[in-house]
């Protein structure tokens, strides 16, 4: 029994670590691929990358708002066995981790559909265009084009990561179940201890 519990815990740690690393590995690989073809650094790089990430996170928030039913956030649903958050590793990758599983109509609409994106979605499109076109039109070089392309990648990643990490948090809470409260107590205790150490040093 003890060995089965230990193996289960080890398996959960491996799965949780793999799922946590996955979106960051995708971003790193994408940016490295662009940089391998053309260096992307421009004077405004850190600021426009931060803007791209912020716009992406905002887009992710819109996607969550339009796709997630508030009932899913009920603690009873989060921790319920066989509930919506109780997913296996493969189910998570095929479901919440699949960017094609969401309704994006609040931001993107099909041409000639007669629909318009929401005002928030329109803001995402305008700012998304800006993070690409501003460096391209300002510098008019291959490096500027690569920079704009990477900004778009970061924007899309920001949207994806916002949705992904939201569901990852719920999935992890479901897997940890009541152990999550023990973990929170440990974290709070460590934080209080570190604050005491800082006070003594000061």
Per-residue pLDDT of 158-192, as tens digits, reads: 999 999 999 999 888 888 775 565 555 555 656 66
pLDDT tens by residue, 45-62 = 888 899 999 999 999 999
The whole model's pTM is what?
0.81
So what's the pLDDT on residue 54?
93
Q: How far apart are CA 171 and CA 97, in angstroms?
A: 11
So what's the pLDDT on residue 199?
44
The winner for highest mean pLDDT among 72-76, 149-153, 193-197 is 149-153
CB 123 within 8 A of CB 115: no
Q: Which of 18-22, 47-51, 101-105, 128-132 has the lowest mean pLDDT?
A: 101-105
What mean pLDDT do residues 67-75 have?
Answer: 83
Query: pLDDT averaged over the chain?
Result: 81
Q: Cα–Cα–Cα angle for 183, 64, 181, nearest 5°?
A: 10
Bin 140: left if φ > 0, else alpha if -120 < ψ < 50, else beta. left
User: Which are the contacts of 62, defined by CB distance < 8 A and separation ≥ 6?
Assistant: 106, 107, 118, 120, 121, 124
């Amino acid at each position: 029994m003890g060995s089965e519990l230990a193996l289960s815990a080890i398996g959960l740690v491996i799965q949780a670590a793999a799922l946590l690393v996955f979106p960051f590995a995708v971003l790193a690989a994408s940016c490295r691929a662009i940089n391998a073809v053309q260096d992307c650094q421009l004077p405004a790089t850190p600021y426009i990358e931060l803007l791209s990430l912020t716009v992406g996170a905002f887009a992710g928030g819109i996607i969550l708002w339009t796709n997630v039913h508030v009932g899913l956030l009920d603690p009873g649903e989060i921790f319920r066995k066989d509930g919506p958050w109780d997913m296996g590793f493969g189910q998570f990758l095929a479901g919440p981790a699949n960017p094609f599983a969401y309704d994006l109509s609040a931001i993107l609409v099909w041409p000639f559909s007669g629909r318009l994106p929401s005002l928030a979605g329109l803001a995402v499109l305008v700012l998304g265009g800006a993070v690409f076109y501003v460096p391209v039109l300002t510098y008019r070089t291959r490096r500027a084009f690569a920079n704009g392309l990477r900004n778009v990648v970061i924007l899309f990643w920001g949207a994806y990561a916002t949705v992904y990490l939201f569901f990852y948090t719920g999935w992890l809470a479901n897997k940890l179940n009541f152990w999550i409260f023990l973990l929170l107590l440990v974290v709070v205790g460590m934080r209080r201890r570190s604050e005491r150490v800082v006070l003594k040093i000061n």
